[in-house]
Amino acid sequence: MSAGPDIDLPGDKSLTHRALVLAALANGESVLHHPLTSLDARSMAAALRKLGVSVSPLRSAVRINGRGLRSFSQPTGSIHCGNSGTAARFLLGLLAASPLVVRVTGDRSLRRRPMRRVTEPLSRMGASFIEFAGDGLPVEVRGGRVRPLDYASDTASAQVKTALLLAGLIGGVEVSVTEPVRSRDHTERMLRALGVDVETQNTTVHLSPTDSLPRFTGRVPGDPSAAAFLIAGALMTGLPQFTLRNMAINPTRIGFVNALRRMGADITIREVSEFLGEPVGEVVVRASELSGTTVEAHEVPTLIDEIPVLAVLASTCSGTTTFRGVSELRIKESDRLALLASNLVAVGADCQASGDVLEVEGMSRPPKGSIETGNDHRMAMAFATLDRMPGASIRLSETASPRVSYPAFFEDLDRVAPRG
Ligand code: S3P
């Protein structure tokens, strides 16, 4: 059988954000090859430049000149994070332990996303925050010396965990974070790869202070959250086989592969290399007959960003698919729980969202109708993928939002799931 189209996935979003930040805090020039170059990654790079770090334009490689853990300088004006929740929350952590006064803001969608989940524990460390819009942005951070923190978080959020670890790293204090379920562990792995003492026990992460981070060079592996759309498109349209090389395969990120396998998908993964403690693999997807499954609450952190595309895929399979414990979807780039349900109904599927459960029934007719993306990149990409189903006809309210995370999305989708 032919190997099928060969796709060069964009660099992973979570890893690009973290690598930019850690390079900015390191000593000397780091070079990152194949970073994500989307709007979200640019927001992070621009924020670091505003804090005085030299970061070259985000192209096929980016050079970052780190000047150490405590080298940020006072910016003029606010730092604008665009649509990026990851950039905003990481910055709140970085600024909490820096002796600066900085206002952080973002676009309309980001301004309504909750920040107290980060500012509350950072306040316990000694930082102060002035809110201008309740729980959302803008927020002014008054940072400086911080105290150690031992924090039990009531949500599994890698953005919260990372913000607290970054504050401890810059502030030179111990930080422990316990989560109800373990969230993606990129920050821990990358810090460990750079020689920092970070220990993990069950769902608790403990960081010990360090004096400096070494500079580093590497190639950012492909984004599994971007891959999920292509995999779903290929499975929906029956592409016999295709291969994704150099995809990040951290188990805390690829819960969607487990869910797809339970649905009957033939997906094989072979580990081939490593990037800062992160496993990188080759993924082969073969045409398969799919049926519904149940995604339990404990799995949700491992596939949180893939629920929109899993839900649209579920609407094309036989049987019912149930997602439990998905209330975090309400506070993503849009209220994804409400929008997913209303959009699936709008294209003819039987779907319900109640409490923290989403239920999708497989439909027998091709999806047809107009959907509202809410300017949410993952909503737009999920329904653009569903539109590749044979016989489908779906109109999206906009097609610009994918630039936030996946600039070449439509070109790549055309290659694995061309319009029939
Ligand atoms: C991310 C963590 C997740 C995820 C987001 C990226 C990260 O958010 O949805 O796209 O890189 O740490 P939460 O930490 O809020 O769950």
User: Which tokens go with 325?
Assistant: 């414990």
Query: From the CA of 28, how far away is ligand 1's center (Å)?
Result: 28
> Is residue 392 lining ligand 1, measured as CB closer than 6 Å?
no
48-53 own/partner pairs: CB under 8 Å, 24+ apart: 48/20, 48/21, 48/24, 50/75, 50/77, 50/79, 51/24, 51/75, 51/79, 51/94, 51/98, 51/100, 53/24
Query: From the CA of 86, how far away is ligand 1's center (Å)?
Result: 6
Q: What are the residue ranges spanned by the domains of the chain?
A: 6-206, 224-416
Among protein residues, the one with the nearest Cα to ligand 1's atom 5 is 86
Q: What is the pLDDT of residues 39-78, one digit of tens each?
A: 999 999 999 999 999 999 999 999 999 999 999 999 999 9
More confident residue, 239 or 420: 239
Query: From the CA of 374, how far away is ligand 1's center (Å)?
Result: 19
Q: What is the pLDDT of residues 292-337, one digit of tens each?
A: 999 999 999 999 999 999 999 999 999 999 999 999 999 999 999 9
> Is residue 14 lining ligand 1, measured as CB closer than 6 Å?
yes
Of 231, 296, 237, 303, which Cα lies nearest the Cα of 265?
A: 231
Query: From the CA of 208, how far away is ligand 1's center (Å)?
Result: 23
Atom of ligand 1 nearest to the CA of 158: 14
Residues in a beta bridge with 350:
361
Confidence of residue 2 (pLDDT cuts 50, 70, 90): low
Task: State yes or no: pLDDT of 1 exceeds 70.
Answer: no
Ligand 1: residue of 44, 117, 159, 406 to mutate (most ligand atoms within 8 A of CB) is: 159
Atom of ligand 1 nearest to the CA of 14: 11
Average pLDDT, the chain: 97
Q: In whole angstroms, what is the distance from residue 95 CA to residue 420 CA? A: 50
Query: From the CA of 115, how far away is ligand 1's center (Å)?
Result: 13
Among protein residues, the one with the nearest Cα to ligand 1's atom 16 is 157
Average pLDDT over every residue of 83-106? 98
The half-sphere exposure of 34 on its side-chain side, counting CA atoms within 13 A, is 16
Q: Is 290 helix (H, G, I), strand (E, B) or coil?
A: coil
Confidence of residue 4 (pLDDT cuts 50, 70, 90): confident
Query: From the CA of 2, how far away is ligand 1's center (Å)?
Result: 36
Q: In whole angstroms, what is the distance from residue 93 CA to residue 320 CA? A: 41
The fourth-level CATH superfamily of domain 6-206 is Enolpyruvate transferase domain (3.65.10.10)
Q: In whole angstroms, what is the distance from residue 314 CA to residue 224 CA? A: 19
57: CB partners within 8 A, 6+ apart: none
What integer pLDDT is reported at residue 77 of this predicted model?
Answer: 96
- H-only helix segments in 70-196: 85-96, 108-111, 116-124, 158-171, 186-193
Query: From the CA of 96, how far away is ligand 1's center (Å)?
Result: 20
**β-strands 357-361, 350-354: how paired?**
antiparallel
CA angle 381, 384, 389 (to 5 degrees): 130
Q: What is the pLDDT of residues 154-204, one digit of tens each?
A: 999 999 999 999 999 999 999 999 999 999 999 999 999 999 999 999 999
Active site annotation includes 305: yes
Q: Among 305, 376, 387, 412, which one carries the catalytic annotation?
A: 305
- The answer to whether 344 and 315 are in contact (CB under 8 A) is yes
Q: Is 70 helix (H, G, I), strand (E, B) or coil?
A: coil
If residue 257 lies in a helix (H) or strand (E), which one and from where to where?
helix 255-262
Of 58, 30, 48, which Cα lies nearest the Cα of 407?
A: 58
Ligand 1: residue of 183, 186, 306 to mutate (most ligand atoms within 8 A of CB) is: 183
Cα 33 to chain centroid distance, Å, stands at 19
- The answer to whether 10 and 42 are in contact (CB under 8 A) is no
Ligand 1: residue of 12, 14, 190 to mutate (most ligand atoms within 8 A of CB) is: 14
> Is residue 188 lining ligand 1, measured as CB closer than 6 Å?
no
Atom of ligand 1 nearest to the CA of 155: 16
Task: State yes or no: pLDDT of 26 exceeds 80.
Answer: yes
Same fold flag, 6-206 and 224-416: yes
User: Which tokens go with 162?
Assistant: 């990372």
User: Which tokens go with 419?
Assistant: 């319009």
Query: From the CA of 351, how far away is ligand 1's center (Å)?
Result: 25
Among protein residues, the one with the nearest Cα to ligand 1's atom 10 is 305
Ligand 1: residue of 20, 115, 135, 184 to mutate (most ligand atoms within 8 A of CB) is: 184
CA angle 182, 10, 390 (to 5 degrees): 95
Cα 49 to chain centroid distance, Å, stands at 22
- The answer to whether 303 and 310 are in contact (CB under 8 A) is yes
Residue 216 burial (CB count, 10 A): 21
- The answer to whether 305 and 381 are in contact (CB under 8 A) is no
Q: What is the pLDDT of residues 151-167, one digit of tens each?
A: 999 999 999 999 999 99
Residue located via tokens 């107290």:
116
Task: State yes or no: pLDDT of 390 exceeds 80.
Answer: yes
Confidence of residue 6 (pLDDT cuts 50, 70, 90): confident
> Is residue 30 lining ligand 1, measured as CB closer than 6 Å?
no
Indicate if the alpha-carbon torsion angle 363, 364, 367, 369 is positive or negative: negative
Q: Which CATH architecture has domain 224-416?
A: Alpha-beta prism (3.65)
Q: What is the pLDDT of residues 238-283, one digit of tens each?
A: 999 999 999 999 999 999 999 999 999 999 999 999 999 999 999 9
What integer pLDDT is reported at residue 280 of this predicted model?
Answer: 98
Q: Is 286 helix (H, G, I), strand (E, B) or coil?
A: strand
> Is residue 401 lining ligand 1, measured as CB closer than 6 Å?
no
> Is residue 158 lining ligand 1, measured as CB closer than 6 Å?
yes
> What is the rounded radius of gyration, in angstroms, for the C-alpha atoms of the chain?
21
